Amino acid sequence: MSRPTLDDIFAENDEYGLLEVNLRSGRSSSTSDHGVGTLKQVSAFLESHGRVPDPDADDLDEMRLGSIWEAIKKDPTPEMLEADRYGLLKDAVATNSKSWRELPDEVDVPASLDDIFDDDDLDVDMSLIDLKHSTPASERHLPDHRAEFVPCPDFEQFRERFETVQQEMDDGTRQVLPVKKWAIIEPLEGDFFIRNGLLAMIAEKSEMTQRGGAREHRLRVIFSNGMESDPLMSSFRKSLNDDKTARTIQKRGLGPLDPEWENDQLELSGTIYVARSLSEDPAIKEQRMILHKIGVTSQDVRRRVADAKNDPTFLLAPVEIVATYELRNLSRRKVENLLHRFFAPAQPSQLFVLDRFGKKVSPKEWFYVLPEHIGQAVKLIQDGTLHLYQYDVSTQKISIKT
């Protein structure tokens, strides 16, 4: 036996009236009766007191009646309008002549935000719409260079390292692990990764700075195809997270206490550079000829300082390079540490800049020292005699320790 269709069901005799539906109007009769009853009470109160009941009255009965009246008079029913002898609902009819369900007239719709804010009836505190923590597009700092791929000029000194790491990956000496989504990766100099199918080595990690209130570094990343790039650490971290094929390559050894663990640390030579700020900040400008930054980098110096105006390390201003010194068979990190410790007495204690969030940043690579004194210190490092000398801030001279 086939199942009955809906048409068959509705065609049958509805013995119990199950299909009878009583459609209700928008307002129930009880609601209308309640409104009319309240209107009659208010009318009687008006006759006795010459006014409508006050919802804030001290008398409980008057307060109750006044509160109910304030609520129902805003949307009167036809029955209430018919029973209104004293015109108590005229204001409500005028106010509610247009339902909120109806579309507004075209003239009532503002065409732009300017039309809204130009409305005389709109009283807006302008401080509420004044952007305090956003830089206008016309004043926004734009990078002077992008971290694009360029040929690595000294790739030959890295070629053997890439071949060794590849061999150790093949024979299982090094473990390769996928990059977990949203993992916080802290790359160190000498670390290896796989990004976009290429081996990538962190050849240099610049001095720490602050960007957007967070710690930041500029990296020099060498790739196994002979190219290099210099992204910010946050950008490199994001590129790994976005690459589903990205991998981290574990170090050799069992952990930090294993001597093999540090074998990936690089001892790269590089260039010592002396930079002078071109900042227009009066506090920096007036001491420009004596205040210098001492840095060491393994990459091209011009590329290292290209984004100086956006980097708190460079006092958020362009710089000019006043001197450079090539390192020969000397560790870049050790030379930089030696120079910073040697000139530590000449480090300014109150030097700082404000980032775009108004946060103080105090770079540690600036010193009150002349370029020729830095040149003398570099010569002493090359001779291996820097430890026999000291820098005297009062006389601004390098002298033999007594």
- Do 256 and 349 lie in one domain? The reply is no
Q: Which amino acid is at 88?
A: L
pLDDT of 393 above 60? yes
User: Phi and psi at residue 219, in whole multiples of 5°?
Assistant: -105, 155
- Do 154 and 79 lie in one domain? The reply is no
Distance CA 315, CA 335 (A): 23
13 within some domain: no
| CA neighbor of 52 nearest in space, from 88, 78, 13 | 88
Question: Residue 348 belongs to what domain range?
Answer: 271-400
| DSSP H or E stretch at residue 36 | helix 29-49
Tell me the three state secondary structure of residue 19. Answer: coil
Is 308 exposed, middle or buried, given 0-12, 13-18 or 19+ CB atoms closer than 10 A? buried
Most confident of the ranges 47-56, 102-111, 128-137, 356-365: 47-56
- Do 276 and 383 lie in one domain? The reply is yes
**What pLDDT, in 10s, does the model give residues 36-81?**
888 889 889 888 888 889 988 888 888 888 888 888 888 888 888 8
Alpha-carbon distances, residue 230 vs 200, 221, 224, 333, 366 (angstroms) = 12, 6, 15, 18, 23
Higher-pLDDT residue of 215, 160:
160
Higher-pLDDT residue of 356, 287:
287
b/e map of 220-230 (b: 16 or more CB within 10 Å)? bbbbbeebbbb
- Do 237 and 277 lie in one domain? The reply is no
138 within some domain: no
Sign of the CA dihedral running 363, 364, 369, 374: negative
- Do 256 and 291 lie in one domain? The reply is no
22 within some domain: no
Higher-pLDDT residue of 231, 212:
231
Higher-pLDDT residue of 10, 362:
362
Distance CA 278, CA 308 (A): 10
- Do 205 and 321 lie in one domain? The reply is no
Looking at residue 25, what is its pLDDT?
A: 46
Tell me the three state secondary structure of residue 129. Answer: coil
Distance CA 11, CA 346 (A): 102
Band of pLDDT at residue 344, cut at 50, 70 and 90:
very high
- Do 177 and 234 lie in one domain? The reply is yes
What percentage of the chain has pLDDT greater than the value 70?
A: 78
Higher-pLDDT residue of 215, 233:
233
The residues pairing with 368 across neighbouring beta strands, listed in sequence order, are 291
Pairing label, strands 227-229, 219-223: antiparallel
Distance CA 206, CA 295 (A): 9
- Do 47 and 154 lie in one domain? The reply is no
Distance CA 396, CA 368 (A): 9
157 within some domain: yes
State the DSSP code for 86.
S
**What pLDDT, in 10s, does the model give residues 276-304?**
999 999 989 999 999 999 999 988 898 88
Sign of the CA dihedral running 381, 383, 385, 391: negative
Higher-pLDDT residue of 347, 102:
347
- Do 43 and 101 lie in one domain? The reply is yes
Looking at residue 267, what is its pLDDT?
A: 64
| CA neighbor of 398 nearest in space, from 374, 382, 381 | 374
Q: Which amino acid is at 247?
A: R
User: Helix 60-72 and helix 29-49: axis angle, to 10°?
Assistant: 130
What percentage of the chain has pLDDT greater than the value 90?
A: 26
Q: What is the rounded average pLDDT for all residues in the chain?
A: 81
How many domains, the chain? 3
In DSSP notation, 286-297 reads TTTTTEEEEEEE
The residue from 242, 262, 282 where one domain ends is: 262
390 within some domain: yes
Higher-pLDDT residue of 391, 13:
391
- Do 286 and 379 lie in one domain? The reply is yes
Torsion of CA 158, 162, 164, 167, to 10 degrees: -170
The residue from 262, 297, 324 where one domain ends is: 262
Over residues 330-345, mean pLDDT: 90
The residue from 239, 262, 285 where one domain ends is: 262
Helices (H) and strands (E) in the chain, counts: 12, 17
Higher-pLDDT residue of 310, 257:
310
133 within some domain: no
Higher-pLDDT residue of 257, 6:
6
Distance CA 338, CA 340 (A): 6
| CA neighbor of 228 nearest in space, from 304, 118, 326 | 304
Higher-pLDDT residue of 209, 320:
320
- Do 206 and 279 lie in one domain? The reply is no
Band of pLDDT at residue 183, cut at 50, 70 and 90:
confident
- Do 276 and 352 lie in one domain? The reply is yes
pLDDT of 24 above 60? no
pLDDT of 185 above 70? yes
Residues in Cβ contact with 393 at an 8 Å cutoff, skipping those fewer than 6 apart = 345, 346, 368
